[in-house]
Structure 1
Amino acid sequence: MLIGEVARRSGVSTRMLRHYDALGLVRPTGRTVGGYREYSAEDVRRIFHVESLRSLGLSLKQIGRALEDPAFTPSALVGDLIRWTEDRLERERELLERLRAVDASAPTGWRDVLRIVELMQGLDSTSAARRQQAVLARPEGAPVPAELLARAVLAESDPNVAGALRWALARSGGDGMAALAAGARSEDVDIRRRAVPAIAGMPEAPGATAVLADALGDPDATVRGYAALALGRCGVAAAVPALIGMVVEGAHDVDAAEVLGTLSRDPGCGKQILTALVGELTTPTADSATRIRLTQALVELPGTTAREALRRLAHDDDRAVALVASAFVTVLDERAPADRG
């Protein structure tokens, strides 16, 4: 077959076939009387072998070695190709995310595009100070894609930068909930610990309450605590057991007690909270420090019933608990006339 027919049948251009010939990769075995290249069936078969190996990412030099060297083994080269391809795909994935982030910001001009690119470069810095500056130095009103900020939140380990990112995310005008919700379901506890506080910072975002409610069942106490505080501040009574647990465990117990006090303004919820606190106080396994925290939580509850419980605790067998309760009763009694006035 002449080169034109080979090109039509193989799909390889005549220019590439001549290149293969020049490299010695596929040399036609014959020539016509007029000197034109003439390919045999074996030559065409070799062309298909070359194209098959090219489709795997091998260079022409590697293909020549593979076809000519009987001792050549593909395993090591294929392993290298897998690693190179994975690296290339990762780079392309990052590029795709950058392009999507730019598109999500709805840029009105190249200046907006450059601002997003600068933000992404700043967030990729190894310096925590540089990452924080990239977030806080954004011009007022400059478009920032929430999805980009949400992904940055999930990846950020520095608490100061994470705080800046959550602040920017809450002000971004978008919610980024898709990425954050996925983070809240991650198998990596560190990612869940980053996702849930970010969701807590924007409780009005669609789906936020449902994700936080699911987080109340998280196996990690820190994640449960973030969710409980956020839901409690929104008046969700389902957070009460987790908040009581925080007081018992001494994990952000002051914050938990304050939220319990806010929830107690609802009469039905207040009764539930008071019963739970008193029940924990009478648990035989509760140590002195735990009972003191529970006593302090009682102070946050409105109404006479909680105060009566404190008066009883002022005569508790545990002297430390009794002293704390007595001090709070005195303060509350002194405050009562002023409150009535």
Structure 2
Amino acid sequence: MTIAEEDPDTTRVVRGLESDSSSTRLRTALTMGTAPDARFVGTLVDRCAVEPDFHVRDMLTWALTRHPSSLTVPRLVGELRSERAQARSQALHTLSKIGARQAWPAITRTLLTDADDEVARSAWRTAVVLVPEGEEAGLAAVLATQLGRGGRETRSSLSRALTALGEVIVPLLRAAAADPGPGVRQHAIATERLLRDPDSGFESAIEEAKRIVALGTGGLEG
């Protein structure tokens, strides 16, 4: 039996997510979160993979957080294996908002090093939220392999994720500060600066790191 046969009103709500109007899709997602229904979960997850509007995607995530995690988390974990980058990225984002620690085993090295920057950034943010106590060092070791990757936003995201793990990252940053690649060295030095002075800001930290690398004066304090 289809949803339409079970409840025409539910079908009407669900179809609102297919509207050409982003404002209609936004209102629909709000409705689905305000009045949670188990039948909405699959549609919400599926829409996250294709929704082009950032604000609507954010509302879809909020709507999913309003449903029981026993229904949402398995569907979201399944999305982490999708070939569609947005599906992986948005599923990771939603898992972090749910705080679904049971999803931790699904945050794999493959996701943390995903070729798509948006997926990788989402994986980094999610990993530092979900990492179990005692596994921070292992996570930091994987994240450190990404130092020097991408543009400013990607590097800033990685630095924030690393500094969220605390002092466990220091030995890794010191090793990376001796890397042959100047981009890796700069990123490691800037991240250490942010760990010591979170208020300095990434832009300031990276400019200082570039100066240090250019002058060949080292960078990480002993």
Q: Tell me whether the two structures share a fold, i.e. TM-score over 0.5.
A: yes
1:292 shift after superposition: 3.5
Q: Calculate percent identity across the aligned residue pairs.
A: 19
The answer (yes or no) to whether the contact 1:135–1:168 under 8 Å persists in 2 is yes
Per the alignment, residue 148 of structure 2 pairs with 248
Per the alignment, residue 60 of structure 2 pairs with 165
Among candidates 149, 172, 176, match of residue 44 of structure 2: 149
Q: Which residue type is aligned with residue 193 of structure 1?
A: S
Q: Which moved more, 1:247-256 or 1:150-159?
A: 247-256
Per the alignment, residue 123 of structure 1 pairs with 17
Q: Which residue type is aligned with residue 57 of structure 2?
A: A
Q: Structure 2: how far apart are the matches of 1:315 and 1:186?
A: 42
Change (3 A) 1:179 1:315: closer
Per the alignment, residue 107 of structure 1 pairs with none
Among candidates 153, 164, 189, match of residue 295 of structure 1: 189
Among candidates 218, 230, 239, match of residue 139 of structure 2: 239
1:198 lines up with 2:91 in the alignment: no
**TM-score (norm. length: structure 1):** 0.49
Among candidates 161, 164, 170, match of residue 259 of structure 1: 161
Greater RCO (CA < 8 Å, at least 6 residues apart): 2
1:169 shift after superposition: 0.6
Change (3 A) 1:157 1:318: same
Aligned residues: 199
Structure 2, gaps ≥5 residues long: 198-208
Change (3 A) 1:190 1:153: closer
Among candidates 255, 268, 279, match of residue 175 of structure 2: 279
Structure 1, gaps ≥5 residues long: 1-94, 103-112, 304-312, 330-341
Q: Structure 2: how far apart are the matches of 1:182 and 1:192?
A: 9
Q: Which residue type is aligned with residue 75 of structure 2?
A: A
**TM-score (norm. length: structure 2):** 0.71
The answer (yes or no) to whether the contact 1:128–1:158 under 8 Å persists in 2 is yes
1:231 shift after superposition: 1.2
1:170 shift after superposition: 1.3
- Per-residue CA deviation, residues 242-282 of structure 1 (Å, 9 max, x unaligned), is 433444214533333233223125xxxx1xx2222122222
Q: Structure 1: how far apart are the matches of 2:27 and 2:12?
A: 11
Q: Structure 2: how far apart are the matches of 1:165 and 1:291?
A: 39
